[in-house]
Amino acid sequence: MKVKATDIGQMASASEVIFEALREAITQGEVKEGEALRQDRIARMFNVSRIPVREALTRLEEQGLVSTQRYRGAVVSSLSIAEIEEVFEFRALIEPEVLRLAIPRMSETALARGAEFAAAFASEPDSARWGELNRRFHYALYEDSARPYYLSTINAALDRVDRYSRAQLVLTDGMARAQREHEAILAAVVARDADQAAALTREHILAAGRSLVDFLSRSRAGEKAVRAG
């Protein structure tokens, strides 16, 4: 039979494609917090029924990126200052330990990827790519930890704060500081000094969290004053 076959089992489902597209748009700040995600509109955009759209929105809600509101349906979630602080506290607990586990088994390929992303982050002129390169740098160093559940949990935490972290990198001195801290972390990893690398990673995350909370507190206070005036 002359049929051009396609391995459907290897193809992403419609709900997976929609989920990834919406997740990326939310984490990159292209869809703003509080913005409604209308099922009918999304279904038309992807030329599908509402069923895979609902499945994708359910997954986004499970990850905390979307919430369901009465009369409005699914909307992009916003995080309070306290919630952002908690995410960074969680990251500061788990990510240093994942790096500590990864270092003894880290391959030269993983080290090379970490160095590549650190250099790309430092030299990238497009601020829209800083957040993604920052994420890729850290993930490259964590990947050899052989802890897939930890990694998926870290990714979910990063998804929740990425859109805020991107703004903080662009609008504060966060980029220059992150570049210096990446270099120090990478040097400790290359030296196979797991304790030093873990300690630097913890302080890197906590410092980024403090900077982001300060930035958002001032920004939201300013917005509130404008609305009140």
Domains of the chain by residue range: 5-76, 81-228
5-76 CATH pick, 3.40.50.720, 1.10.3860.10, 1.10.10.10, 3.90.1580.10: 1.10.10.10
Question: Rounded CA gap, 122 and 136, in Å?
Answer: 13
* pLDDT tens profile 183-195: 999 999 999 999 9
Question: Which pair of structure tokens corresponds to residue 182?
Answer: 């990446």
- In SS3 terms, 81-112 reads as HHHHHHHHHHHHHHHHHHHHHHHHHCCHHHHH
H helix or E strand, kind and range, residue 47 = none
Q: What is the CATH number of domain 81-228?
A: 1.20.120.530
Q: Per-residue pLDDT for 103 more than 90?
A: yes
* pLDDT tens profile 149-181: 999 999 989 988 888 887 777 777 778 899 999
- DSSP SS3 for 3: coil
Q: What pLDDT sits at residue 176?
A: 87
Q: What's the burial of 17, exposed, middle or buried (CB within 10 Å: 0-12/13-18/19+)? A: middle
Axis crossing angle, helix 174-190 with helix 194-228, rounded to the nearest 10: 170
Q: What pLDDT sits at residue 1?
A: 37
Q: What pLDDT sits at residue 8?
A: 37
Q: Which of 54-68, 89-103, 159-173, 198-212 is least confident?
A: 159-173
Neighbour tally for 219: CB within 10 Å: 14
Question: Rounded CA gap, 160 and 23, in Å?
Answer: 10
Read off the pLDDT of each residue in 70-88 and give the average, rounded to a whole number: 89
pTM, two decimals, is 0.76
Average pLDDT, the chain: 87
